[in-house]
Amino acid sequence: MGGPVVPPRAAPDPVGEALHRLRVAGVFYCRTEAAGPWAVDMPAFGDCLSFHVVTQGESWVAVPGAEPVRLRSGDLALVPHGCGHVLAGDLAAPSLGRVDLLPQEYVTESYSVLRHDGDGPRTTLVCGVLSVDGPAARPLLELLPAVVHVPASSGTWVGRTLGLMAAELEHVRPGGEAVLTRLADVLVIQAVRAWLDAQEPVTGWIGGLRDQYVGAALAAVHRDPARPWTVAGLAREAAMSRSAFAARFTQVVGVPAMRYVATWRMHVAADRLARGDGVAQAAAAAGYESAAAFSRAFTRETGGPPGRARRRTGVEAAS
């Protein structure tokens, strides 16, 4: 079995490319101003991701099944799996109730200010609920823990991004929600990157992206999933022999190369269906010439037909 001969063509940053494929959309934003003992329940938000940044004071984030995380001023927490959780100035404080049912000032339909007065330290938070889509969303979010904690000491980017968000929230102007969404996009991607950078060693999908040789092949698949890929073609992207590449890919990523290609194509197709494309369009994007063959593969991979995936988005199924 031969080893790599020369490094692959220097391209890109495969991890950065994968993160770039995430599409973040703001669902709701809230600024919370609380003093004294307080706690609120964050409801489950399905496939959405929540973020919480403390701008003054301290807060706890408690997700069922995980250790509570203490946030200090400037800290950021992501709750990536859409589960319900608790925000609290004091974990022993009784809950004020579900945050979306509490009285608050609605500045716009998707931005509110929640205030709670009491005797004791004051805490201010900026929170958001975001939908995260794109072919990379599922494999990436599945890697993340129940809470991603990024301390303020990790760098100045949290404070700078938050400062821009706070300015938009303080003075709501036309187009402000679009600006908030873009800033939240940056906040999430930077937080995920900070978490990934702290993980050593890494195997699986991220390990493959980080690998000098496997990463080049993965980036090529991500850029052109419809191309008729073979193990030999992927090995050429990695500048390796076919046998060495096949062994390295399976060792690093945990699945054979062509199995990964098939799964990624279904991620691409599911994303296209969720955006309203027809089955034929999704099939073409995934490299299938036959919609019937694509439908069989999609059903086998996901457990349901592509028409059902479209109907879940409120778009009428099309054949």
- Dump pLDDT digits (tens) for 143-192: 889 999 988 877 667 677 877 877 776 666 666 667 777 787 788 888 88
| Cβ count near 305 (within 10 Å) | 15
| Two tokens, residue 40 | 């609120």
Give me the amino acid identity at 318: A
The model's pTM is 0.78
Any residues with CB less than 8 A from the CB of 283 and at least 6 apart, and which?
A: 269, 289, 290, 291, 293, 294, 295
For the segment 87-115, the average pLDDT, to the nearest whole number, is 91
Residue pLDDT, tens place only, 282-307 = 999 999 989 999 999 999 988 888 87
Beta bridge partners of 148: 78
Q: Give me the half-sphere count of Cα atoms (radius 13 Å) on the Cβ side of residue 248.
A: 27
Please, what is the Cα angle at 24 between 311 and 41, to 5 degrees? 85
What pLDDT shows up at residue 274? Answer: 84
Give me the amino acid identity at 34: A
The residue ranking higher by pLDDT, 31 or 247, is: 247
What pLDDT shows up at residue 220? Answer: 94
How is 249-288 classified by DSSP, letter by letter?
Answer: HHHHHSS-HHHHHHHHHHHHHHHHHHTT--HHHHHHHTT-
Q: Are strands 69-72 and 58-62 parallel, antiparallel or unpaired?
A: antiparallel
Say if residue 5's pLDDT is above 70: no
Residue pLDDT, tens place only, 107-144 = 878 888 899 998 888 999 989 898 888 888 888 888 88
Burial class (CB in 10 A: 0-12, 13-18, 19+), 109: exposed
d(CA 29, CA 99): 12
Contact 118, 36 (CB under 8 A): yes
User: Which 3 state secondary structure label does DSSP give 114?
Assistant: strand
Pick the range with the lowest mean pLDDT from 65-74, 164-173, 262-271: 164-173
Pick the range with the lowest mean pLDDT from 1-10, 19-28, 206-215: 1-10
Pick the range with the lowest mean pLDDT from 10-14, 57-61, 170-174, 227-231: 10-14
Residue pLDDT, tens place only, 202-254 = 778 888 988 989 999 999 999 999 999 999 999 999 999 999 999 999 999 99
Give me the amino acid identity at 125: L
What pLDDT shows up at residue 1? Answer: 46
